[in-house]
Chains A and B, each alone.
Chain A
């Protein structure tokens, strides 16, 4: 099955389930029967199922369907959970402190999930066409190698040419650039302005250089480009990993709040009855 066919199948199925579920809840509410009890328990089960995906990732070998199948279920059941949550709170903003907190955290979890899915679909392709493929953990090593190479090139050039045009520029503009990750926010918004400016400044030096220094300049230009690509990979790969540090802890918080909500609802159920 192609990805497109799978996507259409899942969307249609999700819409059918959402419409059917909404119809059931609507008919119950129109007949003046409360829906909070049923929708609440179903929502709790759905939330536990969604949270269990992280557990599945740790259970590598038991035959529990592939992680890709789990992710598909996670995404589409997650969409259904938003609709179910809407029905559960009566499509209004809750007024109690705990309920408000649950609603806010739920929205944050859902939003971070949507954002994560979008990042997972958008970033990989961009990484593929920009620079060499690098392992995230190895980026500091590659960065150090680039810096050492750039410094060596500058020192050699200064010794051979006896002039300080390139070394001055390096000290003024490039030393900091090579020292650590740079322009992270620019990379987030896909802007290449900083490196374009840097390369432009490098090119403008060419008229003041000897033939030997021009060769150094060419190599330096390649190193600047490679460093920028490395920074891009660091930022993008960081985003691909980083969103989970929002989504997963918030899921934990949500489950704790929901647990408290369930206890409180049952504790006061007799009083309200």
Chain B
């Protein structure tokens, strides 16, 4: 951003209406615009954001207009892979037809290989990225869609950027347009120091994000539209921790730092519960003082609530109890706080049957308030029975992020590697995981994609090649639109994405060379939970000793049952 660009921005809404005196000197409105924004120009039909992608920036339309496609757009048109499950015969045939070299593929499928060899322009690679990002058959592709037009001065993408939730719509440049991309850090600071922008984003969040989040909670299922409206208007939303938690996490892993010291406190044990905390995105650690430290006994994720038992107990009680545990942000957490008064007046009388925890809390004899073994999750989660050391391990390594974490019972694993061979047989002769990783006791978390609830690998992919599958939500990579930039592999906090050079099947499995670049074509590879095959993950089905399990860390009860077999 040049001085002229910043001056231009300061002359237009909403920045012209912002009072620079509200910004601290060290940050400054000018500094935010210079460091956290950039002006981007888009050609007609260029995809700005894709539905389902995770992004860390919002966009302000400076000139022109964009079309917001809410539903009905064919995913293939925006570079999503077309998934076709292999037939049983096809699976058997692979035993014979599988090439001997790893990562051997059909070169004719790749757009790079279709470019003339004499295309030596420095823009050749960028041209490919743009090809992927240009909506084909534009604007005919809009005909079957529900869409809307946004014009100059309007802001979009801020809810996904701030709330770390998937983009709710695909946005395409409608003619030539100029957008200001604002990084989440800049957006956060602008919101912090400018009341009008804060009000604007809060209003939009209440209108579009909060209602949906509240409606999805089983605790509020019994509320009428009017009562839900009351809750929505009273609710406050807060964010804790760093959006770039994966970077901080990797640094913490290298240095021997007490993880609790890096986790901001959302609510503290012993304090008066001032509202029901609903986790909208991210993860939070629930811990309790033990000796001179704190012991983790639970963690909460999207849709979970904190403080329910205390609030129910305190409603009309002569002797209110304080919070029995401390809630901390593990990485980035987006929470909605429903004030105590609203909870008591609106939610408590309408709590669905089965959601109400016991009103009389068992009190800790040591005087530390109620014991923590009480429901924290909607539906009356009665304690999962997982040992605290295991929970500490899962939280500290951020494995709680996984929805299909590969866990191996090393007391049963015979190191036969049948899981590795099974994986390789279905994935170009190259296993998509390493049977190695951190261990606790006799359990290992192997280096395999966990299909995270908060998939940071999906942030920043320039072509949207890494995405969630439409059908079942696995994080998958479209091999054809992956440009091998390595952004996803660098972002994955668990080192579970590998960059590989691919081979040309028709050229005796020689490394495939991009004719325009003269360099080997590299692709990102990772576990896809055998989405193209029958029967689920081959690794799990191939284990002869029931030692390997893909674990959904949101389901602690199932994990506990598996650990106790």
List residues of A whose CB falls within 8 A of some B CB: 2-3, 57-63, 66-68, 70-71, 119-120, 123-125, 127-128, 133, 135-136, 237, 240-241
Give 1 or 0 for each of B420-444: 1 = CB within 8 Å of chain A CB.
0110011000000001100101101
Give 1 or 0 for each of B92-124: 1 = CB within 8 Å of chain A CB.
101100000000000000000000000000000
Kindly list chain B residues whose C-beta atoms are within 8 Å of the C-beta of A60: 91, 421-422, 425-426, 533, 538, 541-542
Q: Is B412 an interface residue (CB 8 A)?
A: yes
Q: Is B84 an interface residue (CB 8 A)?
A: no
Task: Check B92 against A241 for contact (C-beta < 8 Å).
Answer: no
Task: Check A63 against B88 for contact (C-beta < 8 Å).
Answer: yes
Kindly list chain A residues whose C-beta atoms are within 8 Å of the C-beta of B421: 60
**A136–B413 alpha-carbon span in the complex (Å):** 13
Smallest Cβ-Cβ distance to B439: which chain A residue: A133
Task: Check A135 against B426 for contact (C-beta < 8 Å).
Answer: no
Q: Is B26 an interface residue (CB 8 A)?
A: no
Task: Check B545 against A71 for contact (C-beta < 8 Å).
Answer: yes
Most A CB atoms within 10 A — which of B441, B540, B542?
B542
Chain A nearest Cβ from B64, distance in angstroms: 49
Task: Check A67 against B418 for contact (C-beta < 8 Å).
Answer: yes
Q: Is B410 an interface residue (CB 8 A)?
A: yes
Task: Check B436 against A67 for contact (C-beta < 8 Å).
Answer: no
If A59-B92, A61-B530, A68-B543 touch, whether A124 touches B535 (CB-CB below 8 Å) is no
Task: Check B442 against A61 for contact (C-beta < 8 Å).
Answer: no
What secondary structure prevails in chain A residues at the interface with B? helix
Q: Is B381 an interface residue (CB 8 A)?
A: no
Chain A nearest Cβ from B83, distance in angstroms: 15
Kindly list chain A residues whose C-beta atoms are within 8 Å of the C-beta of B21: none
Q: Is B271 an interface residue (CB 8 A)?
A: no
Q: Is B86 an interface residue (CB 8 A)?
A: yes
Task: Check B544 against A68 for contact (C-beta < 8 Å).
Answer: yes
Chain B nearest Cβ from A190, distance in angstroms: 17
What secondary structure prevails in chain B residues at the interface with A? loop
Task: Check B88 against A62 for contact (C-beta < 8 Å).
Answer: yes
List residues of B whose CB falls within 8 A of some A CB: 86, 88, 91-92, 94-95, 410-416, 418, 421-422, 425-426, 435-436, 439, 441-442, 444, 530, 533-535, 538, 540-547, 564-565
Chain B nearest Cβ from A228, distance in angstroms: 19
**A241–B418 alpha-carbon span in the complex (Å):** 11
Chain A nearest Cβ from B170, distance in angstroms: 33
Q: Other than A61-B88, A67-B541, A67-B542, give 19 A-B pairs with Cβ distance below 8 A.
A: A2-B564, A2-B565, A57-B418, A57-B544, A59-B91, A60-B422, A60-B541, A61-B86, A61-B91, A61-B535, A63-B534, A67-B543, A68-B543, A71-B544, A120-B414, A120-B545, A127-B415, A133-B436, A135-B415
Task: Check B530 against A133 for contact (C-beta < 8 Å).
Answer: no
Smallest Cβ-Cβ distance to B561: which chain A residue: A2
Smallest Cβ-Cβ distance to B420: which chain A residue: A135
Kindly list chain B residues whose C-beta atoms are within 8 Å of the C-beta of A58: 95, 425
28 pairs, CB–CB < 8 Å, chain A vs chain B: A2-B565, A3-B546, A3-B565, A57-B418, A57-B544, A58-B425, A59-B91, A59-B95, A60-B91, A60-B421, A60-B426, A60-B541, A61-B426, A61-B530, A61-B534, A62-B535, A66-B543, A67-B543, A68-B546, A70-B544, A124-B411, A124-B412, A125-B411, A128-B410, A128-B411, A133-B439, A135-B436, A240-B416
Kindly list chain B residues whose C-beta atoms are within 8 Å of the C-beta of A128: 410-411, 441-442
Chain A nearest Cβ from B162, distance in angstroms: 41
**A98–B262 alpha-carbon span in the complex (Å):** 74
Smallest Cβ-Cβ distance to B539: which chain A residue: A60
**A59–B221 alpha-carbon span in the complex (Å):** 47
Kindly list chain B residues whose C-beta atoms are within 8 Å of the C-beta of A127: 410, 415
